Amino acid sequence: MIERFHGELLNFLTRRVGNRDLAADLTQESFARVYSAAGARPVMEPRALLYTTARNLLTDHHRRSTVRGAASLAAFDPDGPERDEHAGPDTHQPEVILDSRQRLQRLEQTLAALPPRAREAFVLAKIDGLSRAEVAQAMGVSVKTVESHLKVAMRACAQALPGRTPSRRHAITSVLAVGGLACLGGWAGWAHWRAQPLYQQAFSTRRGQQQRLTLPDSSHLRLDTATRIEVAFHRGHRTVRLLQGQAFFDVTPDSARPFHVRADAVQVTVVGTRFSVRLTPEVPGRAGVEVAVEHGRVRVAPGDGSAAAWQPLLLEADQRAVFDTGGGLRSVERVPAGGAAPWRERLLSIDNRPLAQALAELERYAPQGIASVDPAVAGLRLSGTFDPHDAAATRRLLTAALPLRLATDTRGVHLKPAH
| Averaged pLDDT, 20-49 | 73
- Pick from 262, 252, 316: nearest CA to 289: 262
CA 155/CA 191 separation, integer angstroms: 19
Distances (CA, A) of 314 to 124, 230, 241, 261, 305: 24, 24, 20, 14, 21
Tell me, yes or no, if the two domains 199-334 and 347-417 fold the same way: no
Instruction: Report DSSP letters for 324-342, one per residue.
Output: -TTS-EEEEEEPPTT-S-G
Asked if the 347-417 domain carries CATH number 3.30.2350.10, the reply is: no
| Averaged pLDDT, 23-49 | 73
Whole-model pTM over 0.85: no
Report residue 63: phi and psi, to 5°: -65, -45
Judged by average pLDDT, the poorest of 48-52, 162-166, 268-272 is 162-166
Q: Is the pLDDT of residue 10 over 50?
A: yes
SS3 (DSSP) at 187: coil
| Averaged pLDDT, 11-16 | 78
Angle at 349 between CA 348 and CA 352, to 5 degrees: 135
| Averaged pLDDT, 16-33 | 79
Whether 230 and 197 have beta carbons less than 8 Å apart is answered as: no
CA 130/CA 137 separation, integer angstroms: 10
CA 47/CA 144 separation, integer angstroms: 28
- Pick from 85, 20, 29, 93: nearest CA to 57: 29
Domain layout of the chain by residue ranges:
2-116+156-194, 199-334, 347-417
In CATH, the architecture of 199-334 is Sandwich (2.60)
CA 222/CA 293 separation, integer angstroms: 14
CA 88/CA 329 separation, integer angstroms: 59
146: which residues sit within 8 A by CB, 6+ positions away? Answer: 121, 125, 132, 135, 136, 139
Q: Convert the pLDDT of each residue in 179-231 to its tens digit.
A: 444 433 344 555 555 667 888 999 999 998 999 999 999 999 999 999 999 99
Q: What percentage of the chain has pLDDT greater than the value 90?
A: 27
| Averaged pLDDT, 390-409 | 90
- Residue 323's identity, in one-letter code, is F
Q: Convert the pLDDT of each residue in 331-389 to its tens digit.
A: 999 987 778 888 887 788 888 889 999 999 899 898 888 999 999 999 999 988 888 88
pLDDT of residue 403: 92
- Residue 107's identity, in one-letter code, is L
